[in-house]
């Protein structure tokens, strides 16, 4: 008798927690991902800003799941999904049949219909994105050093970060630290400390999902680090020379996009209702309406009151694994309930905000908590130790380990 086939698409936090939750289940499990690694995305901005190397926040999926004997890992991208035939089509021509399907593909950069902006304002979703951003940031200072015309030099020394959410705040805060400390004294024709870091936010405050008083504290901390914050500005154009906001322009040769993500386009194969961002409006057990055999977890799932953050994806993945295990035993499951362990956003050295139920922290204590939590959750012991050493070294020396331009920016 063959075992029920379960396929998980995507091995981020949602997919990996679902896979690990099925490790002892009597199923034939296949995990499909288009990369060979699970990525600790909360620290991706550190790779982009030359604080960590790419391998420090990545672990091979095949290695993590090697001991799980019921599990096969496939490197591949889903091209099509036939919900009637219960069949996935992969990019290398293979087909994959399933009895239970878990979709955990995550989200992609989203330019609100202005895809032409993408080449000028890379977003931060993959390791490749992070290395591209790293190359652009480091190259901008080199270009400024070589440039004689003052206006062009100023444009190379102006960095625009679009979007004042967690990613934008992290990028802007770290950029300010690089300019003020890491690179200080290493150039002869420019003073990197005079670089301008402008964080552009459409609403009237940074970190909009946080309580208003923490948003204000984040703003104060950003400005103390040297970031110029522009609020209530609507970006109307991005090109090779900078950012347009209506009639206003900011001349900036380096523009980073942290303003929006959209759900993976995989949701469109389901024939189920999607929300404005393309997320699937799932049932209380995270299954797709009309398709109890398909589950959606992580950023692709629209669930009221559940934010698009790593802890939520993990909880959804673990929940769906439990639902499948129970279903195989003929037992029904209670609806998914999100447990809110709080939210943290880091801003820079000794600067962060934390909200944890009624507890609100900012500044050094928040930063310390952020540090401990992130070190703790890094995927395996070795990464944890090495990242801790990297950070301790960076903290005391202001140096940044990974200041290497491997290839010319695109």
Residues labelled as active-site residues: 170
Tell me the torsion sign for CA atoms 278, 282, 288, 293. Answer: positive
In whole angstroms, the minimum distance from the beta carbon of 202 to its own copies comes to: 32
The binding track of 11-50 with respect to its own copies, each residue x by CB under 8 A or -, is ------------------------xxx-------------
Which residue stretch of 74-82, 109-117, 193-201, 331-339 sits at the interface with its own copies (rule: CB under 8 A)?
74-82
Q: Which is closer to its own copies, CB of 152 or CB of 249?
A: 152
228 touching its own copies, by CB under 8 A: no
Among 82, 186, 204, 213, the residue binding its own copies under the rule CB under 8 A is: 186
Task: Tell me how far, at minimum, the Cβ of 395 lies from its own copies, in Å.
Answer: 13
Footprint of its own copies on residues 239-298 (CB under 8 A)?
none
92 sits near its own copies (criterion: CB under 8 A):
yes
What number of chain residues touch its own copies (CB under 8 A)? Answer: 46
Quickly tell me which residue has 């050094």 as its tokens. Answer: 364
56 binds its own copies (CB under 8 A): yes
Cα–Cα distance measured from residue 25 to residue 102, given in angstroms and rounded to the nearest whole number = 15
Residue 406 binds its own copies (CB under 8 A)? yes
DSSP-derived letter for residue 398 is -
What is the b/e burial string over 278-303, where b = at least 16 CB atoms within 10 angstroms of the residue's CB?
bbbbbbebbbbeebebbbbbbbbbbb
Structural contact between residues 382 and 395, judged by C-beta atoms closer than 8 angstroms: no
Determine if 63 is a binding residue for its own copies (CB under 8 A).
Answer: yes
**Nearest distance, CB of residue 180 and its own copies, angstroms:** 15
Cα–Cα distance between 98 and 294 in angstroms, integer?
A: 10
CA–CA distances in Å: residue 147 to residues 151, 153, 158, 328, 408: 9, 6, 14, 66, 17
Q: How far is the CB of 182 from its own copies (least distance, A)?
A: 9
For residue 135, CA distances in Å to 238, 391, 398 come to: 19, 21, 19
Which of residues 145, 191, 241, 285 is near its own copies by CB under 8 A?
Answer: 145
Q: Is 401 in the site for its own copies (CB under 8 A)?
A: yes
Q: Applying CB under 8 A, does 334 fall inside the site for its own copies? A: no
Contact between 337 and its own copies per CB under 8 A: no
Instruction: Return the range that interacts with its own copies (CB under 8 A); candidates 136-144, 167-175, 310-318, 360-368.
Output: 136-144
Residue closer to its own copies, measured from CB, 92 or 276 = 92
Contact between residue 95 and residue 53 where contact means Cβ atoms under 8 Å apart: no
Query: Residues 243, 160: contact at Cβ < 8 Å?
Result: yes
State how far Cα 252 lies from the chain centre: 24
CB 22 to its own copies: min, Å? 16
Cβ neighbours, 10 Å, residue 211:
12
Name the minimum Å distance from CB 151 to its own copies. Answer: 17
Angle between helices 212-225 and 166-177 (to 10 degrees): 20
DSSP state of 333: -
Interface positions with its own copies (CB under 8 A): 35-37, 53-56, 58, 60, 62-63, 66, 72-76, 92, 94, 127-128, 131, 138-139, 142, 145-146, 183, 185-189, 382, 386, 389-390, 393, 399, 401-407
């Amino acid at each position: 008798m063959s075992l029920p086939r379960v396929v998980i698409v995507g091995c981020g936090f949602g997919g990996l927690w679902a896979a690990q939750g099925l490790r002892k289940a009597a199923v034939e499990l296949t995990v499909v991902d288009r990369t060979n690694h699970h990525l600790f995305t909360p620290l991706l901005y550190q790779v982009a800003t030359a604080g960590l190397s790419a391998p420090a926040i990545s672990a091979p999926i095949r290695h993590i799941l090697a001991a799980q004997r019921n599990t096969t890992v496939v490197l591949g991208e889903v091209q099509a999904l036939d919900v009637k035939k219960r069949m996935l089509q992969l990019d290398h021509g293979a087909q994959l049949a399933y009895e239970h399907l878990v979709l955990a593909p995550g989200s992609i950069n989203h330019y609100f219909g202005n895809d032409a902006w993408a080449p000028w304002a890379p977003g931060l979703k993959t390791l490749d994105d992070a290395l591209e951003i790293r190359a652009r940031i480091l190259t901008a200072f080199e270009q400024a050093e070589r440039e004689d015309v003052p206006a062009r030099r100023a444009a190379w020394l102006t960095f625009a970060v679009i979007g004042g959410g967690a990613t934008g705040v992290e990028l802007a805060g770290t950029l300010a630290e690089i300019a003020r400390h890491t690179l200080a004294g290493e150039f002869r024709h420019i003073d990197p400390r005079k670089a301008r870091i402008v964080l552009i936010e459409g609403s009237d405050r940074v970190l909009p999902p946080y309580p208003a008083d923490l948003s204000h504290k984040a703003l104060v901390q950003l400005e103390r680090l040297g970031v110029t914050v522009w609020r209530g500005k609507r970006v109307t154009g991005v090109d090779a020379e900078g950012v347009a906001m209506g009639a206003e322009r900011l001349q900036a040769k380096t523009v980073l996009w942290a303003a929006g993500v959209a759900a993976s386009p995989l949701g469109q194969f389901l024939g189920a209702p999607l929300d404005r961002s393309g997320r699937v409006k799932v049932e209380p057990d995270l299954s797709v309406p009309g398709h109890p055999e398909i589950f959606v977890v992580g950023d692709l799932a629209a669930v009221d009151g559940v934010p698009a953050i790593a802890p939520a994806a993990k909880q959804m993945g673990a929940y769906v694994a439990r639902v499948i295990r129970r279903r195989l035993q003929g037992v029904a499951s209670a609806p998914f309930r999100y447990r809110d362990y709080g939210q943290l956003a880091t801003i820079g050295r000794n600067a962060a905000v934390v909200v944890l139920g009624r507890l609100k922290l900012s500044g050094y204590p928040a930063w310390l908590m952020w540090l401990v939590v992130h070190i703790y959750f890094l995927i395996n012991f070795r990464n944890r130790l090495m990242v801790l050493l990297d950070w301790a070294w960076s903290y005391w020396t202001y140096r940044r380990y990974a200041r290497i331009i491997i290839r010319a920016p695109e």
